[in-house]
Structure 1
């Protein structure tokens, strides 16, 4: 059967190695994955209890519009429920944003390296990805993005904080950029890691939306809330902007246990405070220790670190893998001496440093 021409342009997504695969491949009893930016605490007890309860009704289709969750998010952020849309993870939300708005030859603009879904979803629709290099310090270059906007530009994606670099854009500069873009361009702010940002008075995409800017903000429950395995993301924008996305969204995009877990997770403040504190402590520990090893560690507003290891990152990945530790080499972004390392538990972080000392 002949492929669609646009599909041929999309490189296969290569996910990080799974724990199960590494155990089997290397015959290891214990494997630690510090590659996929997962929450090492797991889901909160409240979320787990809600999931288990929802599983008792697994024979029933979920509430298609995820009404309870949308109302919960709307109340949390001070928006209307009709200004919230849910999806099967943030990746799914990104795909139906692009599918709803990008025609053949339309341009989608973003800085690189960043989350690869912007490129693949654009290519699938016959659009043209326009990639602008990050500026010094691996931060989105808003001036360069603005300079690359043309009559064909349809969407601009800002991954903030950015994956894989962990860096954020100054919120005042971001608001200025959003205000300056032409009316035919829509700005999408991907905030998968926004809950980790510590900057005082930092304004988010939702804040800009509430000020009246026509932006789309995308978020997820995968990282901060520890629900990566359930696949649940959402977007907040005006009802008019969301309307074509609702036509494309699968009728039952979010499953019943995921909806229940997400609602419960939003209420578990003790869990989120504990996770935030653990992440910050782990991040500072790893940064200090890896700098002592001679690595360059970039400032991070996320649950991972972007590290210049000053050697072949893929080789270091392989050496750590043999010891049962999985990190993410950045060769897929053409940064061959860089790795992305997720913050683990205190024990996992200490094990990583001791293993790196042994290897080096």
Structure 2
């Protein structure tokens, strides 16, 4: 009997053609490809200090057979107290990435216009495209800082959503008070401003608090933050969105799955917030190392952006895949940047002092003629 011809199932065209997300290589894959066991994982901006001891202690009492609280009640209550925001304006997510997807589902209609920056965090574009929107990008300045006039010009066109990360991922700088004030003044009332502050804890003391600045406006906005970076909970996936109003929070919450933040993540996040001293100490060490590494990179004559994060964005002067292979041969994972115009850049996480020294040695050998 002749087997019938296979008929291709029609797929959602908004999803089928999405660009791939540029994820960092994991340690197991790096070991397989490099043949080395001593891997320095410097691609995904994880905290090399791990997490607070209070987190591991709290997880020891977890009952994994029970479903998590779908409302994340305890976590939202602690965040409410910390941030001075009503808990009904806070939505917890499976990482802040899930909140980006939920925001797009809650707000966008096919044909909507979304704007963001370039280079930028890939999911700001991918999730908008997945919901049938078109996406346009604002480039950064040649000195690798925010182009405020270009951002304002884009905002004057009234996008449905404007995604802006400050500090910038992957570049590193954070908006100053003047820049943020000018941007907020340009946001139109039909635009939802999504300020992605995933690296907020690493900023300088004089950097504006986006949540405080937005709270003083009558705009529609969301501030995104995460436990993945400064708190060291990347593997548990927990972040949150603070919204301008309850109606928006309800819409974002409705656009996510019911048990989106697992029980371990909720317990860990609450414990992490109870030990802010651990987080601040870790951040201080990483910021010190960041400046040491940045000075060493500058001494090699290489261009890097000013950073208020736990990473550096470096122009290595050759195609980033070639640089990636070079570092991997040394047992070091970096992230090769792939956006047009920035394909000679890598993003490297600030690791332990030993890992950073290994990176600098490998960078010197790459840069050597």
Q: Given that residues 104 and 127 in structure 1 are in contact (C-alpha distance below 8 angstroms), is that contact kept between their aligned partners in structure 2?
A: yes
Among candidates 216, 228, 235, match of residue 229 of structure 1: 235
Question: 1:24 and 2:32 equivalent?
Answer: yes
Among candidates 274, 286, 289, match of residue 282 of structure 1: 289
Among candidates 46, 50, 53, match of residue 45 of structure 1: 53
Name the residue aligned to 2:170.
Answer: 164
Matches within 5 A, 1:88-103: 88-103=94-109
For structure 1, which runs of at least 5 residues remain unmatched after alignment?
none
| Paired residue secondary structure (1:40) | coil
Measure, in 1, the Cα distance between the counterparts of 2:90 and 2:176. 25
Residues 12-67 of structure 1, C-alpha deviations (whole Å, 9 max, x = no match): 2231111101112222121111111110011111111112222xx11111111111
Question: 1:139 and 2:141 equivalent?
Answer: no
Question: 1:269 and 2:314 equivalent?
Answer: no
Q: Give the Å deviation of 1:241.
A: 1.5
Matches within 5 A, 1:176-325: 176-200=182-206, 202-213=207-218, 214-237=220-243, 238-325=245-332
Residues 80-110 of structure 1, C-alpha deviations (whole Å, 9 max, x = no match): 1111110100110000001100111111111
Name the residue aligned to 1:343.
Answer: 350
Q: Given that residues 34 and 341 in structure 1 are in contact (C-alpha distance below 8 angstroms), is that contact kept between their aligned partners in structure 2?
A: yes
Q: Given that residues 52 and 257 in structure 1 are in contact (C-alpha distance below 8 angstroms), is that contact kept between their aligned partners in structure 2?
A: no
Q: Give the Å deviation of 1:150.
A: 6.1
Measure, in 1, the Cα distance between the counterparts of 2:155 and 2:178. 20
Q: Give the Å deviation of 1:183.
A: 1.1
Q: Taking structure 1 as reference, are residues 146 and 9 closer, same or farther at Cα in structure 2, changes over 3 Å only?
A: farther
For structure 2, which runs of at least 5 residues remain unmatched after alignment?
1-8
Measure, in 2, the Cα distance between the counterparts of 1:133 and 1:263. 38
Measure, in 2, the Cα distance between the counterparts of 1:111 and 1:318. 28
| TM score, norm. by length of structure 2 | 0.92
Q: Give the Å deviation of 1:165.
A: 0.3
Q: Given that residues 87 and 232 in structure 1 are in contact (C-alpha distance below 8 angstroms), is that contact kept between their aligned partners in structure 2?
A: yes
Question: 1:354 and 2:361 equivalent?
Answer: yes
Q: Give the Å deviation of 1:257.
A: 0.8
Q: Give the Å deviation of 1:333.
A: 4.9
Q: Given that residues 109 and 145 in structure 1 are in contact (C-alpha distance below 8 angstroms), is that contact kept between their aligned partners in structure 2?
A: no
Q: Which runs of 4+ in 1 moved over 3 A?
A: 149-152
Measure, in 1, the Cα distance between the counterparts of 2:149 and 2:365. 44
Q: Given that residues 176 and 208 in structure 2 are in contact (C-alpha distance below 8 angstroms), is that contact kept between their aligned partners in structure 1?
A: no
Q: Given that residues 52 and 272 in structure 2 are in contact (C-alpha distance below 8 angstroms), is that contact kept between their aligned partners in structure 1?
A: yes
